[in-house]
């Protein structure tokens, strides 16, 4: 199928559509969807519902040719009249060395982020890789599930000072969120300062997706997003390298004093009584490898951890403790509350803050 910039399209395997705003390569294009997000999409998953106007077609820089294009004979007498000729497909140079916009504030600093943006229907999240630097990025993203099965999620070139949506996450899959491994190589056209390639794996606690405070205002989206820095040389430079020596020494002295003061207060028992302890009972937080365990065996491990932490809190004089059990089928939450009901003379409990934990946690107050 011949797709050009400006064509209005519909998604074959998803709801909605948009307008083609960029040709990525022979097989894929960038579509500006109905929510004003740019989404990379294979040409094979699009249907053109309205071709670009003739005057726009003449201004297109490139197009995606047919999968098996036929060579066209060009009459030498009309060689100068190329109004009906197909635009040339982008070359490897176009793909790997695109025309980019630079940001003087970014200089030679690298700022790369993983971002989760909630969908407008609140049924999941769009996942982005953000390149807020003056370098192009050759990227590979691999996901690894709980069974240590890895799969290539996305590969490509991300232009300087741009972002790309590379995946989505449904609310039903939040508790099974995989680990994301990023391999990033940074380069520019012409002379530039060499940067070491980045390899980093991000493992996220599902509880974060139920906390409103996990999603913050940012400079990349019109709505709050969960932002995870893969690398931020600009922030590191601002906080350490650009700090005057006297101020740096003063900061270190205050840090050491603060640690000593906190240690003394902790020993006094006052801080212990006022603090709220948080215990995450998700099985992946308790075990590095839980393959082969049945549901009942995992539940027993989680309940054993629950009892240990509750006993420790009572022994140390802690008055409040939050057990994060998640939503799921509610089995773990039910078992926890059965045991708490048998201890009503020593404690009471309620749902923890919905703003912080959603429906996935229980706050226990110890008398």
Residues 137 and 225 in one domain: yes
User: Average pLDDT of 235-248?
Assistant: 55
How many residues are there in the chain?
A: 367
Structural domains of the chain, count? 3
Residues 85 and 110 in one domain: no
CATH number at residue 349: 3.30.1370.110
Residue 205 lies in a domain: yes
Q: DSSP secondary-structure letter at 260?
A: H
User: Average pLDDT of 111-117?
Assistant: 95
**pLDDT exceeds 50 at position 77:** no
> Which of 21, 11, 69, 68 lies closest to 43, judged by CA?
11
Residue 97 lies in a domain: no
Residue 51 lies in a domain: yes
Which spans in the chain are helix H?
Answer: 54-57, 92-96, 233-236, 245-268, 270-274, 283-286, 295-316, 331-341, 354-357
Say what the pLDDT of residue 224 is: 92
Q: Are 166 and 203 in contact (CB under 8 A)?
A: no
Helix (H, G, I), strand (E, B) or coil at 322: strand
Between 241 and 358, name the one with better pLDDT: 358
pLDDT digits (tens, 9 = 90+) for 190-231: 888 999 999 999 999 888 888 888 899 999 999 999 999 999
Give the phi and the psi of residue 85 in degrees, each rounded to 5. Answer: -80, 150
| Cα-based distances in Å from 312 to 287, 305, 316, 351 | 20, 11, 6, 21
pTM assigned to the model: 0.47
Residue 257 lies in a domain: no
Residues 210 and 326 in one domain: no
**pLDDT exceeds 60 at position 146:** yes
Helix (H, G, I), strand (E, B) or coil at 183: strand
Please report which confidence band the pLDDT of residue 254 belongs to, taking 50, 70 and 90 as the band edges: low
Residues 10 and 50 in one domain: yes
Beta bridge partners of 128: 115, 165
**pLDDT exceeds 90 at position 98:** no
What's the mean per-residue pLDDT of the chain?
A: 79
User: Which of these three, 41, 58, 90, is where a domain ends?
Assistant: 90
pLDDT digits (tens, 9 = 90+) for 280-323: 998 888 887 777 778 888 888 999 999 999 999 998 889 999 99
Residue 42 lies in a domain: yes
Residues 139 and 210 in one domain: yes
* Separation CA 254–CA 264 (nearest Å): 15
Residues 159 and 235 in one domain: yes
Residues 124 and 70 in one domain: no
Residues 118 and 43 in one domain: no
User: Average pLDDT of 340-346?
Assistant: 89
Residues 130 and 236 in one domain: yes
Ranges of beta strands (E only) in the chain are: 3-4, 8-11, 17-23, 28-33, 38-42, 46-50, 63-64, 111-118, 124-131, 136-144, 150-158, 162-170, 179-187, 198-202, 225-232, 276-280, 320-324, 347-351, 361-366
* Separation CA 242–CA 53 (nearest Å): 53
Say what the pLDDT of residue 79 is: 46
CATH number at residue 219: 2.60.40.1600
Residues 229 and 291 in one domain: no
Degrees (nearest 5) of the Cα angle 360, 357, 285? Answer: 65
Residues 114 and 220 in one domain: yes
Strands 63-64 and 3-4 turn out to be: antiparallel
- Which structural domain range is residue 38 located in? 3-90
Residue 14 lies in a domain: yes
Q: What angle separates helix 295-316 from helix 331-341, to the nearest 10 degrees?
A: 40
Q: Are 133 and 160 in contact (CB under 8 A)?
A: yes
**pLDDT exceeds 50 at position 72:** no
CATH number at residue 79: 2.30.30
User: Which of these three, 241, 265, 295, is where a domain ends?
Assistant: 241
Residue 258 lies in a domain: no
Residue 251 lies in a domain: no
Residues 65 and 111 in one domain: no
**pLDDT exceeds 70 at position 66:** no
């Amino acid at each position: 199928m011949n797709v050009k910039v400006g064509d209005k399209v519909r998604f074959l395997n998803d709801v909605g559509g948009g307008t083609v705003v960029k040709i990525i390569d022979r097989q894929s294009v960038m579509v500006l969807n109905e929510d004003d997000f740019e989404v990379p999409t294979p040409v094979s998953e699009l249907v053109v519902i309205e071709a670009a106007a003739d005057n726009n077609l003449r201004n297109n820089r490139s197009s995606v040719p047919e999968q098996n294009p036929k060579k066209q004979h060009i009459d030498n007498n009309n060689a100068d009249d190329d109004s009906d000729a197909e635009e040339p497909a982008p070359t490897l140079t176009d793909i790997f060395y695109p025309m980019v916009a630079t940001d003087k504030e970014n200089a030679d600093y690298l700022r790369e982020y993983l971002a989760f943006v909630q969908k407008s229907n609140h049924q999941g999240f769009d996942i982005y890789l953000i390149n807020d630097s003056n370098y192009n990025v050759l990227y590979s993203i691999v996901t690894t599930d709980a069974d240590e099965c890895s799969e290539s999620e996305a590969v490509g070139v991300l232009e300087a000072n741009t972002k790309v949506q590379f995946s989505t996450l449904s609310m039903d899959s939040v508790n099974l969120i995989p680990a994301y491994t990023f391999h990033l190589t940074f380069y520019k056209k012409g002379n530039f300062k060499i940067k070491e390639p980045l390899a980093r794996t991000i493992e996220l606690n599902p509880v974060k997706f139920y906390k409103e405070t996990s999603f913050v205002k940012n400079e990349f989206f019109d709505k709050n997003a969960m932002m995870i820095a893969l690398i931020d040389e600009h922030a590191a430079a601002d906080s350490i390298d650009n700090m005057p020596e006297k101020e740096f020494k003063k900061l270190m002295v205050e840090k050491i004093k603060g640690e000593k003061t906190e240690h003394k207060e902790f020993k006094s028992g006052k801080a212990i009584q006022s603090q709220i302890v948080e215990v995450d009972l998700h099985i992946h937080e308790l075990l590095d490898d839980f393959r082969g365990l049945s549901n009942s065996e995992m539940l027993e491990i989680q309940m054993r951890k629950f009892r240990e932490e509750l006993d420790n809190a009572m022994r140390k004089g802690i008055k409040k403790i939050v057990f994060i059990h998640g939503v799921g089928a509610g089995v773990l939450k039910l078992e926890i509350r059965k045991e708490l009901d048998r201890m009503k003379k020593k404690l009471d409990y309620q749902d923890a803050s919905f703003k912080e934990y959603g429906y996935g946690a229980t706050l226990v107050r110890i008398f």
